[in-house]
Amino acid sequence: MPLTPDMRRSIDQIRDYLFGGGYPDPVSNAEQLSFLFFFYLVEGIDAENALKAKVMKQPYESLFAGEWTLKNPLNASVRPERSAAPHSVRPERSAEGAESKGLTIPRDRFRWSVWAKGLSGEALVRFVRDEVFPFFAELGEQAAHNFMHGARLTIDEPTVLTQVVALVDGLRLDQSDADTKGDLFEHVLRQIKQAGELGQFRTPRHVIRAIVELIDPKVGETIYDPAAGTAGFLVAAYNHIRLANSSPAAIQEVEMDACPEQGRRGKMQKRGLGDKLSAAQVSALATATFYGNDVDPKMVRLATMNLTLRGLPNVRILLRNVLTTTLDNERKRELGLPQEGYHVVLANPPFSGRVDKDRIVDDVKVGTTTATELLFLKYMLDSLRPGGRCGVIVPEGVLFGGTGAHKELRRQLIENNQVEAVLSLPGGVFQPYSGVKTSVLIFRKPLTPTHPERSADTHPDHPKRSAESHSVRPERSAVSHSHSVRPERGAEGAESKGQFTDKVLFLHADNDGYKLDANHDTPIDDDDLPTLIAAYRAREENWKKWQARDTQAEWTEKWWFADAATLRANDYNLSAGRYRPMSQTAVEHQDPRELLDELAAIEAEIAEEVEALKAALGEIA
């Protein structure tokens, strides 16, 4: 069932009630809604588990069985209309049978159908704040990961909470399928329009889907987002795998980003039910495929709810800063993380942020830089298993920056890995969060740790590998894992022979299917992404076409190539515009926004150099 206009209006009403009631922070509001959704859904999940246990003739104790010791004695007098008999509030007794000061109520009262429908006003606020949140936090402590850790009610205005609870109840989430619940929560997340302190912000979902299509994750692979945010990449990878494993009858088209109230049509998107997946594959997707971290507890909760609503409640998003903490193999085993790295890494890591240099762990250091975009890229290089592949969004400055850290990181990318493509995104694609020009890097880690032909002896242009150039260090031999990693395939499906960068495909998008205005949420017909994805998939055939071209003729395609020798001669510059075939048309119509983005990146680079010099002078002094 697709997301209905009524459901969308209900979410908009909730937003308006919260904003008008004095709750203007969209991130906190989304977090509070995720809690309420969770409270609503648990009752249905408990009933399903009880039914399954009955069918399987296995014992099952309901989450709502037994007694609950009240945290606030004032709630002893609270009796929802649908609650148990009046005598159900009673003193707690000790082991010796003597009455203690605590009062208990049946845990059955924590069903949504009881308290959400039977309480309102001050009584509702007090019961939810002092009993419901602690009750579900206790349940969370018994689970694999505690979604409710540190959670508290912040919507404490009685009228507002009553209205919001009634609207959530009216959504009838238990009657919606996983895709509809997920789309509903995405509509909630769209209200988040500000960047975090480290420069993180919500990635447009159509950009995420394009990157996932380029990487093409497969069932049986491990998929990781080290800066998961609201889990957009993990959700898109899940949907991609299900679509790829669906029969024609199990594929439907749904309209996304429509706004009927404004007469605005949306974009059509294919969805698959994954009916061709085996039971073992479904189990693997649910428990041993998706992994992620985030530094923000609110984002961890939002990501967890986003995944839960889509049928992935067991995916664990860790509260962790990967730039300042490390995990040894024993700790990875305890957390159920892959020891050898991940098949796929997908991310839009924070950029324009800085980390205190004394907190940065050695594994991710690149020179003296403290820029989050460089440190994250280094971390992702090291997180891939042999043969693994990565799709990551980076600010344009990463591709052409002139600092030592920028150059060294690009050298590691090109010389020690296989950079397959760079997708230049339109300026303004991250509005309203940021106007920074960005690109997507697509690369894979080689099956062997060193290039057989690119040693210092045979390539005098290539700097000798030093202790700090350790970005490729597989923990296990390539032989033991190569059979499980999907080989790169060209246009005709043949395996690619190269493991290291010999050429890079540059893809340039002028339009991404949405109006490039301050909000970037209005669908338009002009969209280069599907054509560029097709060009990437046919890159071996396109390489032949590129080599056979007439260099004197006008090049009209929005893709082109540069070989490794050309990249080395240009300080490993990976900016798409650097290698674009020049034409009179291109010169006359050069986008001034791109020029401004390049100037901004250069300015940021200069600022970083100044900070590095200041730090160096401070150490000397």
Domain harbouring 344, CATH code = 3.40.50.150
Name every residue whose Cβ is closer than 8 Å to that of residue 336 and which is 6 or more positions away in sequence: 288, 316
User: Who wins on pLDDT, 599 or 132?
Assistant: 132
- pLDDT of amino acid 83: 45
Residue 247 within any structural domain of the chain: no
Q: What is the DSSP letter of 295?
A: S
| pLDDT for the residue numbered 275 | 94
Q: Are strands 523-527 and 512-514 parallel, antiparallel or unpaired?
A: antiparallel
Q: Are 343 and 437 contained in the same domain?
A: yes
Which residue's structure tokens are 């799709």?
391
Backbone angles phi, psi at 252, to 5 degrees: -130, 160
- The verdict on 445 and 349 lying in the same domain is yes
pLDDT in tens, 319-345: 999 999 999 999 999 999 999 999 999
- Condensed to tens digits (0 to 9), the pLDDT of residues 352-391 reads 678 888 999 999 999 889 999 999 999 999 999 999 999 9
**What residues have CB less than 8 Å from 532, skipping those under 6 apart?**
423, 507, 508, 509, 558, 559
**Which of 327, 228, 243 is closest to 285 using CA atoms?**
243
The number of angstroms, rounded, from the C-alpha of 121 to the middle of its chain's C-alpha atoms is 37
Q: Which of 131-145, 212-226, 301-315, 394-408 has the highest mean pLDDT?
A: 212-226
Q: H/E/C letters for each residue in 50-101?
A: HHHHHHCCCCCCCCCCCEEECCCHHHHHCCCCCCCCHHHCEEEECCCCCEEE
Residue 268 is assigned to a structural domain of this protein: no
**Residues 162 and 219 both lie in one domain:** no
Looking at residue 491, what is its pLDDT?
A: 34
Instruction: Report yes or no on 60 lying in a domain.
Output: yes
Q: Are residues 90 and 215 in the same domain?
A: no
How does pLDDT run across 45-64, given as a tens digit for each residue?
889 889 888 887 889 999 99
Both 515 and 558 in one domain: the answer is yes
Mean per-residue pLDDT, 534-542 = 97
- Residue 266: which pLDDT band, with cuts at 50, 70 and 90? confident
The span from the CA of 331 to the CA of 469, in Å, is 26
Residue 488 lies in a domain: no
Identify the sign of the CA torsion 538, 526, 12, 254. Answer: negative
What is the average pLDDT value for the chain, to the nearest integer?
82
Q: Indicate the helix (H) or strand (E) that contains 103.
A: strand 99-106
Nearest-5° Cα angle at 91, 86 to 95: 140
The 10s digit of each residue's pLDDT in 451-480 is 655 544 333 333 333 333 333 333 333 333
Look up residue 593 and give its two tokens: 């926004």
Residue 181: phi and psi, rounded to 5, are -60, -40
Q: Is residue 190 part of a domain?
A: no
Query: Is residue 472 classed as helix, strand or coil in its secondary structure?
Result: coil
Same domain, yes or no: 34 and 171: yes
Residue 173 CA from chain centroid, whole number: 23
Q: What is the pLDDT of residue 608?
A: 65
Say if residues 37 and 185 touch (Cβ distance below 8 Å): yes
Q: What's the confidence (pLDDT) of residue 425?
A: 93
338 assigned to some structural domain:
yes
Structure tokens at 603: 């300015």
Is a pLDDT exceeding 90 seen at residue 5? no
**Separation of alpha carbons 190 and 460, rounded Å:** 51
* pLDDT number for residue 590: 54
Same domain, 175 and 209: no
pLDDT of res. 616 = 62
508 and 401 assigned to the same domain: yes
pLDDT in tens, 64-122: 999 999 999 999 876 665 544 444 555 554 434 334 457 999 999 999 999 999 999 99
Instruction: Give the DSSP per-residue string, 297-365.
Output: HHHHHHHHHHHHHTT-TT--EEE--TTT----HHHHHHHT--SS-EEEEEE----S-B--TTTS-GGG-
Q: Does residue 120 share a domain with residue 218?
A: no
Asked if residue 278 belongs to a domain, the reply is no
Say if CB 238 and CB 178 are below 8 A apart.
no
**pLDDT tens string 168-177:** 999 998 888 8
Q: How many domains does the chain have?
A: 2
Q: Is residue 56 domain-shared with residue 91, that is, in the same domain?
A: yes
The predicted structure's pLDDT at residue 90: 53
Dist CA 381 CA 388 (whole Å): 10
> Is 245 among the domain residues?
no
Average pLDDT over residues 28-36: 91
Q: Domain range for residue 66?
A: 5-182
Q: How far apart are CA 241 and CA 216, in angstroms?
A: 8
| Statement to judge: residues 102 and 218 lie in one domain | no
87 CB neighbour count, 10 Å cutoff: 6
Whether residues 136 and 215 fall in one domain: no
437 pLDDT higher than 80: yes
Whether this model's pTM surpasses 0.85: no
Amino acid in position 224? Y
pLDDT tens digits, one per residue of 153-193: 999 999 999 999 999 999 998 888 888 888 888 888 877 75
